Amino acid sequence: MKAKLLFFLVVLLSILIFTQSSFCKEPYKIGAIFSVTGAASFLGEPEKNTVLMLVEQINKAGGIKGHPIEVIVEDSKSDETQAVLAAKKLIEKDKVLAIIGPSTTGESMAIIPIVTEAKVPMISCAAGASITLPVKERYWIFKTPQYDTSAVEAIYTYMKKKGIKKVGIITISTAFGDSGRKALLELAPKFGIQVVADERYGPKDTDMTAQLAKIKASGAEAVINWSVGPGQVIVTKNWYDLKMGIPLYQSHGWGSKRNIELAGKAAEGVIAPLGRIVVWDKLPDTHPQKPILKKYVTDYMARYKSEPGTFGGHAYDALMMVVEALKNVGPDRKKIRDYIETKIKKWPGTGGIFNMSPEDHCGLDMTSFEMVIVKNGDWEILK
Partner 1 sequence: MKKDNALTIFVFSLLILIFPLIYKDTYLLTIGIFIGINALVAIGLTILMGYAGQISIGQAGFYGIGAYVSAILSLYFGLPVLLSMLLAIVVACIVSIFIAIPALRLKGHYLAVATLGFGEIVYLILNEWGPGGPSGFGDIPRISLFGYTFTTSYEYFYFVWSIVIIVMIFSFNLINSMTGKALKAIHGSETASATVGINIVKLKIKVFILSAFYASMAGAIYAHYVTFLSPSSFSLFYSVMVLMMVVVGGISNLWGGVVGAFIITILPELLRGFKELDVLVYGIILTIALLFVRKGFVPLILEGYRRWLQK
Partner 2 sequence: MTLLLQFIFSGLTTGSVYALVGIGFNIVYNSTSIINLAQGEFVVIGGLMMWFFFVGLKLPFLVSFTLTLAVAGLVGFLMERLTIRPLIKKGDLLLMIMVTIAVSILIRGLLMFKFGKDPYTYPPFTVGEPIVFLGAVISQQTLWVIGITCICIAILYLFFNKTMTGRAMKACSLDIKAARLMGINVSQIVMLSFIISAVIGAVGGIAITPISLMEYDKGAMLSVKGFCAAIMGGLGRGRGAVVGGFTLGILESLTAGYIHSGLKDAVALFIMLFILFLRPAGIFGRSEIMRLRKF
- List the end-to-end C-alpha distance of the chain, in Å, as a whole number: 75
Q: Within 79-98, which residues bind partner 1 (CB under 8 A)?
A: 79-82, 84-85, 88-89, 92-93
State yes or no: residue 116 binds partner 1 (CB under 8 A): no
Least Å from the CB of residue 179 to partner 1: 6
The packing angle between helices 41-60 and 309-329, to 10°, is 40
Least Å from the CB of residue 31 to partner 1: 12
Least Å from the CB of residue 74 to partner 1: 7
Q: Which does 262 bind (CB under 5 to 8 A by kind): partner 2, partner 1, none?
A: partner 2
DSSP E strands in the chain: the ranges are: 28-34, 69-75, 99-100, 122-124, 141-143, 166-172, 194-201, 222-226, 248-250, 271-275, 347-348, 353-354, 369-375, 378-381
Q: Report the candidate in 215, 225, 250 with the shortest Cα–Cα distance to residue 170.
A: 225
State yes or no: residue 48 binds partner 2 (CB under 8 A): no
Residue ranges of alpha helices (H) inside 133-283 are 148-162, 175-187, 209-217, 230-241, 257-263
The packing angle between helices 175-187 and 105-118, to 10°, is 100
What's the order of all strands across the beta sheet hosting 69-75?
A: 69-75, 28-34, 99-100, 122-124, 141-143
Least Å from the CB of residue 211 to partner 2: 5
Q: Which stretch binds partner 1 (CB under 8 A): 25-33, 167-175, 237-245, 288-296?
A: 167-175
Q: How many CA atoms lie within 13 A of 150 on its CB side?
A: 20
Strand partners, 317: none
Using CB under 8 A, pick the residue from 70, 84, 166, 230 that binds partner 2.
230
A 10 A CB-CB count for 137 gives: 10
Residue type for 15, please? I
Alpha carbons 276 and 300: distance in angstroms, whole number: 16
Using CB under 8 A, pick the residue from 130, 342, 357, 367 that binds partner 1.
130
Q: Which stretch binds partner 1 (CB under 8 A): 6-14, 34-42, 324-332, 372-380?
A: 34-42
State yes or no: residue 110 binds partner 1 (CB under 8 A): yes
Nearer to partner 1, 39 or 64 (CB): 39
Using CB under 8 A, pick the residue from 189, 264, 288, 291 that binds partner 2.
264
Q: Report the candidate in 277, 273, 251, 274 with the shortest Cα–Cα distance to residue 349.
A: 277
Total number of residues binding partner 2 (CB under 8 A)? Answer: 31
Using CB under 8 A, pick the residue from 59, 116, 173, 355 that binds partner 2.
173
Nearer to partner 2, 198 or 338 (CB): 198
Q: Residues in the site for partner 2, rule: CB under 8 A?
A: 37, 39, 41-42, 45, 173, 199-202, 204-207, 209-211, 213-214, 217, 229-230, 233-234, 237, 241-243, 258, 262, 264
Q: Residues in the site for partner 1, rule: CB under 8 A?
A: 36-37, 39, 74-75, 77-82, 84-85, 88-89, 92-93, 105-106, 109-110, 112-113, 117, 128, 130, 173-175, 177-179
